[in-house]
Amino acid sequence: MRRRRSSIGQLISTLVFLVMSIWLASAARAFYLDGQTIKAMLVGFGSILAFIATFRFQIQKFVNDRKKIK
């Protein structure tokens, strides 16, 4: 199995996406508890997208592997 080397920039951006997803999730919870449901849903959606972006390299590898199979 070949090990893929990651650059420092990729590791930093991955960490930023993860931290932002956690921060946005806590902000969405605060909006929800404040009664601002629509804003909480939008911020929560942003949190989900940031969390998915954390795994962008794994998703890319998965998609590329699936393309090779076909």
Residue 53 lies in a domain: yes
Residue 1 lies in a domain: no
DSSP class per residue in 9-68: HHHHHHHHHHHHHHHHHHHHHHHHHTT-HHHHHHHHHHHHHHHHHHTHHHHHHHHHHHHH
Residue 41 lies in a domain: yes
Residue ranges for the chain with pLDDT beneath 50: none
Instruction: Note the pLDDT of residue 5.
Output: 72
Name the domain count of the chain. 1
Residue 32 lies in a domain: yes
Instruction: Note the pLDDT of residue 2.
Output: 59
